[in-house]
Amino acid sequence: MADEDNREYENAVPESMRCLTGECEVAQRRIDEFLLGVKDYILSRHPEKPEEEMYFETRVMELCRPEPVPRPTNEGVHMLLYRERVVALVTETRNDFNNVQYDFFKNLQGLDDERDL
C-alpha cells in the first residue's frame, strides 16, 4: 500500500477526550468507530484473504487496584486483538472529579513482517 495511504490512516487515531460520567455517548461511538477503522484497515491490506476476519476479537476489560484485596476501579480498557495481538487500545480512566478520560492507541508495527498476509 502506498505511503500516503499509511500516513492518511495514521491521522485517524482520535484525540484524547474527557467527559462527565454519564454523558459519554459520543465517546462510545468514537471508540467503536476507531476499533472498526483499525480492523477495516488491516483487512483492506489483503482483500484476497477474507478468512482474516475470524482472527479479530474485541475485549472490554475492567481494571482493578492491586491493594491487599483487588477491587474494581470503574476504569477499563477497550482492546482490538488481531491474531491474539493488541492492535488498538482505548483506555478509560477517571479523575477525582469523576470525569472520564479516553485515550486512543494503535500498534500496527510489524504486522506484515510476522506472517505472510
Alpha-carbon distance 80 to 85, whole Å? 8
**Long-range CB pairs of 4-11, under 8 A, 24+ apart, other chains included:** 9/41
Question: In the predicted model, what is the mean pLDDT of the chain?
Answer: 83
Query: pTM for this one?
Result: 0.80
pLDDT digits (tens, 9 = 90+) for 70-104: 777 788 999 999 999 999 999 999 888 889 999 99
CA-based angle 49:52:54, to the nearest 5? Answer: 140
User: Hey, is 5 helix, strand or coil?
Assistant: helix
Q: What is the pLDDT of residues 10-38, one digit of tens each?
A: 457 999 999 988 888 889 999 999 999 99
